[in-house]
Amino acid sequence: MSSYRQIIYQIIFRTKHSQKTLSLKENERLFKYIWGGIKNKNCHLYRINGMEEHIHILTDLHPSIALADFVRDIKTASSIWLKESDYFPHFIGWADGYAALTYSYWDKNKLISYVKNQQEHHKKETFEEEYRRLLEEHSIIIDERYFLK
């Protein structure tokens, strides 16, 4: 018997201390690396993009993959790759934690556009404002003691 699901996750995580250590010029290399890891887990990547201090991954997870394991594996592998790469010399690591927000399949095209247009979007809203807004839109109570620490 097959398992069926249709869960779209927008996963967001940031660099340690929200430092702007991801080069917009070189981020495509990072995104391709992460995409390879996602494909190896039999998951579907709808879109990936980000800025100097954070990335958004829009994905569907294979039923055999636990969300926490998926994010841990992506962050660990990409952190090692980033530190070994000459393209991101100031990267020191990813911050602890992440946001994983679920969406309806019907929101897919709107979400793809949102993630695709990160550079344009962040001309109007900082990462902190965006992150806070997305958490609040999903009725997630923000613990200010740990928010972006």
Interatomic CA distance for residues 88 and 101, integer angstroms:
28
Q: Write the CATH number for 106.
A: 3.30.70.1290
Q: Is residue 66 part of a domain?
A: yes
- Residue 100 burial by Cβ neighbours in a 10 Å radius (0-12, 13-18, 19+): middle
Q: Is residue 149 part of a domain?
A: no
Q: Is residue 15 part of a domain?
A: yes
Q: Is residue 144 part of a domain?
A: no
Q: Is residue 122 part of a domain?
A: yes
Residue pLDDT, tens place only, 29-74: 999 999 999 999 999 999 999 999 999 999 999 989 999 999 999 9
**Domains held by the chain: number:** 1
Query: Can you give the residue range of the structural domain that contains 133?
Result: 8-137
pTM of the model: 0.94
Q: Is residue 142 part of a domain?
A: no
Pairing assessment for the beta strands 99-103 and 8-14 based on DSSP bridges: antiparallel
Q: Is residue 1 part of a domain?
A: no
Give the CA angle between residues 110, 114, 56 to the nearest 5°: 120
- Res. 149 pLDDT band, cuts 50 70 90: confident
Q: Is residue 3 part of a domain?
A: no
Residue pLDDT, tens place only, 126-139: 999 999 999 999 99
Q: Is the pLDDT of residue 8 over 80?
A: yes
- Residue 40 burial by Cβ neighbours in a 10 Å radius (0-12, 13-18, 19+): exposed
